[in-house]
Chain A
Amino acid sequence: MISRLFSHIEYYILYVKYFLLYAVSFLKFHMSIIYEQSISQISYLTNELQQPVIHLIALFKQNASIITARFHIFLKANKTVILIGSAAYLGIYVFGYLIIFTIRHARYKVLLKKNTLIFSLVKKIKKQSFKQVFKKEFYTNLLTNIGRFITNLITEILLSIENKYGNLKIFREPGYSFELFSRIFFVIIKVTDIFAILLEKGLIALKVLKPKGTDQGLFLTTIEETDDKQLQRVIPEELQHEFHLTGDKQLNEYMDFVNAYKKPLLTAITKWKEKSLSSMLFVGKKGSGKSALIDLLMQRIPRGTEIVKILFEPDEFRKNIFNETLIKITGTGTLEKAVETLKAREKELVVILDNIHFLFFKDQSNIKAFLSFLSLIGNAGGNILWIATINEHSYKFISQFMPVNDTFDFKISINFMKTKDIKNIFINKAEHCGFSIYPRLTENQVKLAKKKIKKGEISYADLPNYILNEYFGKLVDKCENVFPALYHHFLRSISYVRNKRVYISEVNFRDLSFIQDFSNEYFLILTAVLIHEILTLDELVFLLGMNIERLNVYTSFLLKQKILEKYETGEKTFYRINPVYTIQISSILKGKNYFYF
């Protein structure tokens, strides 16, 4: 605020002074031109008639010169008056600004209570106190104002040059020089402003301008997260329920149009029938639809084929998980006997292993168990089809030192769902409970769209669809097909619901770049959790070799920042990465080299 005020004072005073000085020079110059031109214009008149006109013009010139000269003297003598005048003007300006802001703020408050439809519009303003707003503006304008100050300085220098070298041609023609200088100043002001903004952004990115505490200080990118209570007020319960739960009945309906998977999957099943394929691996991020695809695939497996489906849960005791699995599949608890039983089997069997990364624990004894499991798949014989799913991060890590790629005959990466497919899923889900999705048009969007309409790229009728596509495109880019993240951001982008129409606006993504400055321990914790998907505190202690008290401090902070979240099952409490931030965190870890694989 102080910087803004000072900048305004300096800025206006200098420019008022500058303008007045030029006005004086301009008047002086034009008076002489008017005089000369008037004389030439009246040359056709007779001498009698010329004389009074010449006299009048001379009188006018004399008076004008006296007026401008007096004005010039007045300006020079009354610097304090000009200063006070400008300050008063600024005072009124700032006061007016404050009043307008207060009225707006109060108006929003009243509207907020009366009309929930504009709730989403004003929720950010409501959250920001006066102090925050001014603090934000103070920082935002600080460097821009430095730019202005430099511009003013240049103006001053140029004025002093003019005073010193006023006899030069360029200064003798005020009209020309005014135009020239105003152009130069305009360019300088623009360039300086742009540089100031760029410099500011750069310094924030480089953490030279360090915000206090967490992301709250990142004024250019801070996004307020909508909490669940607020969400409840905007989005109807049935819609939230629809987006949070995926029932088996609807699965086929939602996934059936994802044609990209069908062909390779059917080819794989045919190959298995021909005994040239015995194992398939689905790799994908958490929430990318691996399990959903397996359910879809189960419907395509020929009738009569025996199917064993094992869904690995994180709450199972990790050290016994391998033996328990063997018993479930073959009825025996040892590897050798299990291989013998499976080889001797005549009837075809499909073993579906969902989330095999829970079989792996980056622990000395468990590494052996996972290797044994891979050897079981590799040696079981041709009558068995193994279908397994694995988390992408775990897969990338494990395959560095385990023969995962050699063991499985067929591998599919689940990451090629198109924007169009995701858009259809959302539209279908909304339609399923009687809603339809509409874009909420902002002025900028309409302006951009109008340009496209003018160019003939889209028609007026296509406008909502075009903006919906843009919206989903951004959503998919940021969320990389991770469904929990997609749902999270989609629900938070709902502006309002009216007459069973859901109006959605631009998606706000919280910037996690503040974690760049965290200490190594945080990155080690995040890497371990990403590799294993979920971990208990004890497991983290074991994996990282830290003591529990220290680890508690780190995990509590990450929980507070909503980067980690707790997942309770049975008596155990697990930690996992908030799926909304998985993509951002993994890219930060890659940048920091913790995710080198």
Chain B
Amino acid sequence: MKNILKEITYNRILSTILIIFLTYIVGKIISAILKKLAEKYSQKRIQIKGFIPISKLVIYTTAILFISFGVLHISKDTLTALGLSLGVALGFAFQDIIGNLFGGIIIIFVKPFTIGDKIKIGSHYGEVTDISIRRFVLVTSDDNAITVPNKTILTEKVSNANSGELNCQVVTEIYLPYTIDIEAAEQAGYEAVYASPYSYLKKSVSMAFESTLNEVPVIKMKVKAYVFDHRFEVKFSSDITKRVISILSETGSLTVKSFSP
């Protein structure tokens, strides 16, 4: 310990602070450039954004190694001594941080999701906008940013809606009167998907119906279709609902007839 303290001079402390500051700036600049690039080439948005956490990891690791061996000149012996004496104590104290670090490494290398993906973790659903060593950020459809610690992925189930692709399936649920003509409703569903400006028509479109009780019996119609960019998920869903209702209203199918259970 004495050796370590001997090594630490004011000069080295200043150099360390300067390197940390520079690393932070460089990390930010690279992230900003990659984000700009991703927005410019939207088609490859997710792939480009996938480099952000990797670049951050590389920059931070390089900075830590440089500070340890280049500035503070920590020798092998010192490192071993530090590992032995502080390892156990710090391990307990910083187990959350270490858990987050492991979670971060898993996210970066195993890639259960990447920046730009729409994921559901716990009760939260949204677009991943940032991944760092410690935490990742989800932005929900209500524009709320949720910071989730990385270690959550070790314990919680993660569902990924688009897995690195921009298009993703959107299931739109529409409640229709029990007396609805199912065939007409199905046709309206298909037409609405074909007519929507947000639909991704390279993948299949399907409809599902089920009768359910919501104070009165109703038909729940599920329109399963793909949106070409998951950012339009909400717009797509509302557009489909609007179009289906409009088609059915035009044909008179939505007129509620008397129903006796």
Contact = CB atoms under 8 A, between A and B. Distances in A.
Interface string A344-386: 0000000000000000001111011000000000000000000
A318 to B, nearest CB: 13
22 contacts: A206-B33, A206-B36, A207-B40, A208-B32, A208-B33, A362-B194, A364-B192, A364-B243, A367-B191, A367-B195, A397-B201, A400-B202, A401-B194, A516-B40, A520-B232, A543-B195, A591-B42, A593-B42, A593-B229, A596-B167, A596-B202, A597-B202
A322 to B, nearest CB: 16
A591 B195 contact: no
B25 interface: no
For the complex, would chain B's binding face be called helix, strand, loop or mixed by DSSP majority? helix
Interface string B210-238: 00000000000000000011001000000
Interface in B85-114: none
Closest 5 CB pairs of A and B: A364-B191, A400-B201, A206-B36, A592-B42, A593-B43
Contacts of A590: 43
Given A367-B191, A591-B42, 16 more contacts: A206-B37, A362-B194, A364-B188, A364-B194, A367-B195, A368-B191, A397-B201, A400-B201, A516-B40, A543-B197, A545-B239, A545-B242, A591-B41, A592-B42, A593-B43, A593-B229
A364 B247 contact: yes
Contacts of A401: 194, 201
B200 interface: yes
A368 B200 CA distance: 19
Contacts of B195: 362-364, 367, 543
Contacts of B37: 206
Contacts of B194: 362, 364, 367, 401
Contacts of B43: 590-593, 596
A363 B232 CA distance: 20
Interface residues of A, number: 28
Interface of B: 32-33, 36-37, 40-43, 45, 166-167, 188, 191-192, 194-195, 197, 200-202, 228-229, 232, 239, 242-243, 247
Contact of B200 (A208, A362, A592, A596): A596
A591 B40 contact: yes
Contacts of B191: 364-365, 367-368
A253 B32 CA distance: 56
Contact of A527 (B40, B42, B197, B247): B197
Interface in A583-597: 590-594, 596-597
Contacts of A528: 197
A544 interface: yes
A159 interface: no
Given A206-B40, A364-B191, A367-B194, A593 B201 contact: no
Contacts of B229: 593
A471 to B, nearest CB: 30
A134 B147 CA distance: 48
Interface in A471-526: 516, 520, 524
A545 to B, nearest CB: 6
Contacts of B41: 591
A381 B50 CA distance: 55
A207 B38 CA distance: 12
A270 to B, nearest CB: 36
Contacts of A592: 42-43
A587 to B, nearest CB: 11
A208 B34 CA distance: 12
A207 B36 contact: yes
A524 B42 contact: no
Nearest to A524: B197
Which of A205, A524, A592 counts the most chain B CB atoms within 10 A?
A592
B228 A596 contact: yes
Nearest to B238: A545
B173 to A, nearest CB: 19
Contacts of A367: 191, 194-195
B46 to A, nearest CB: 11
Contacts of B33: 206, 208
A176 B243 CA distance: 81
Contacts of A527: 197
Contacts of A364: 188, 191-192, 194-195, 243, 247
Nearest to A592: B42
A246 to B, nearest CB: 35
